[in-house]
A and B are shown apart, each in its own frame.
Chain A
């Protein structure tokens, strides 16, 4: 177990280091200097050079790279190119609201997936099963910005029961969490169904039936617990993906999270900000994935992922 933990930690370190390195060099590979992006391509050359010197872009690239690494290791993501504000404090504020959205959407997804998945498996082959399958395929095929826009139009414009945008407490959380959660549940409910059906074919389920246990008890306590094991991985990946930026959902609902911060950077051509966001999103994503990996080894020692 200890060896496995050490291995996962080492891989984690390697991946994060690589991501930071890749982002740094991609950023430096962009045609044109950051000065062109911020001051505009027509700005006088002297002004551009002065700006580059002030922002430390005139030093050798190796030195910039080492400083970038050191900064990130200390949680310092540099400054915004546009107005020179430090990026790190903004990241932590935005991270909180992204986490809020992610956790709520995850909860919605989990509830929906369990309800839809279990009832589809129990009623396998019936009309209900087909309707759920159709629904999930529809949700998988409809882009989040389409369903999100539809939800906004219905609830915020047509019926005016929920706020259209912003970050005004619980009420503005409902629609984005529902939209994102339903999209994810479309996928997981299918997995719950498939996994539960597999388990229901096992001998111990037949034994439980033969013993005369009530059906509900067989499904919920005998079958579901085993059926959920393979689903756990997917759920974990989903949570990691959620925390790693539901960029489009945040944009549709103007949710002030990391995703919208990154898009702010995109629109202002502020590559420092974009890189910082990408690095943080990737960081959260791999850390959560690693935690899930560890948890899974604890829960079910049979699964040895490579």
Chain B
């Protein structure tokens, strides 16, 4: 078995990777629709259409997925919710990296007190069970897009910090680092030029899973009624609303569920594929051809 393969080779030999990539790009493209066509960003309330089932009628494309409890088009809300999910996922990954990488780097490279300090902060944050920390933050600071992203970052940075810290600790006494130090390289130069490149691969894999997790967590918070609040359509919110009408109007649950499942599943598949490419020792049978 060949160990090192490129992403292109992986895509060529594994159809699931290609499909996942396509699905993620699809939702990315969909999320730009309301930006390009501002009329799509306006979700109309139309009470006579309350909970109308899906109908394939090309004169009314908004009715393809049916309507919700106030007669708003499910299709339109899914289109608008795609952007929300991707923004929450993407911003959480960025925020987690921006906090986690520097803290992990300092803790791993310098060790000692800075390591202990970062470790204690992690201990306290890890004391909260999963979802309870973002939930508490969302409750105490009120909902809203940025609060939710902040709430998800608050615990999300720990994973990347741990990866960076472990790698830096393992490598800081490696020959090439000692050589660089002997040549007079500053800690900043060693960290940026010599150590940081070694964590790019594991962080890429980790970030893909973090994004999938963040999208799920946002949906969970929306489901509990602690979501983005007014003015934002979220897939989790749609599902939460649909629960009361599962029997009469299953379409309200089915289409948002499928949308979210396709995006999150694809992100997880991509994570697995990236792992095959970047970190072959950890690969799973789905990645193997």
Whether the Cβ atoms of B284 and A133 lie closer than 8 Å is yes
**With the chains together, A244 CA to B155 CA distance in Å?**
15
A23 at the interface (CB under 8 A from B): yes
**With the chains together, A127 CA to B250 CA distance in Å?**
33
Query: Which interface class (under 10, 10 to 19, 20 to 34, 35 or more) fits B?
Result: 35 or more
Whether the Cβ atoms of B129 and A153 lie closer than 8 Å is no
Interface of B is mostly: helix
B-chain residues with CB within 8 Å of residue A286 when the two chains form the complex = 127
A48 at the interface (CB under 8 A from B): no
Report which residue of B126, B136, B286 has the largest number of chain A beta carbons within 10 angstroms of its beta carbon. Answer: B136
Closest to A145 in B: B223
**Distance of B284 from chain A, by nearest CB (Å):** 6
Whether the Cβ atoms of A245 and B131 lie closer than 8 Å is yes
**With the chains together, A30 CA to B141 CA distance in Å?**
7
Whether the Cβ atoms of B246 and A285 lie closer than 8 Å is no
Closest to A131 in B: B285
* Stretch from B5-13, B64-72, B187-195, B212-220 at the A interface: B212-220
Given contact pairs A18-B124, A278-B128, A143 touches B139 in the complex (Cβ within 8 A): no
Whether the Cβ atoms of B124 and A133 lie closer than 8 Å is no
Kindly supply a per-residue 1/0 record for chain A positions 273-286, scoring 1 wherever the CB is within 8 Å of any chain B CB and 0 otherwise: 01000100110011
**Distance of B69 from chain A, by nearest CB (Å):** 16
* Stretch from B47-55, B90-98, B178-186, B253-261 at the A interface: B253-261
* Stretch from B24-32, B75-83, B264-272 at the A interface: B264-272
**With the chains together, A235 CA to B135 CA distance in Å?**
23
B239 at the interface (CB under 8 A from A): yes
**With the chains together, A263 CA to B260 CA distance in Å?**
24
Closest CB pairs A-B (n = 4): A244-B129, A141-B265, A141-B264, A18-B124
Question: Which A residues are closer than 8 A to B by beta carbons?
Answer: 11, 14-16, 18-19, 22-23, 26-27, 29-30, 120, 124-125, 129-130, 133-134, 137-138, 140-146, 149, 153, 157, 190, 194, 240-241, 243-245, 247-248, 251, 262-263, 266-267, 271, 274, 278, 281-282, 285-286, 289, 306
Given A18-B123, A274-B136; 13 other pairs, CB 8 A cutoff: A18-B120, A29-B140, A130-B286, A133-B285, A140-B268, A141-B216, A141-B265, A144-B220, A146-B239, A241-B130, A244-B128, A245-B131, A274-B139
Offer 23 A-B interface pairs, CB within 8 angstroms, sorted by A: A15-B123, A19-B128, A120-B285, A137-B272, A138-B261, A143-B264, A145-B220, A145-B223, A145-B239, A145-B240, A243-B129, A244-B129, A244-B130, A247-B131, A247-B224, A248-B131, A248-B224, A266-B135, A266-B225, A278-B128, A282-B127, A282-B129, A289-B126
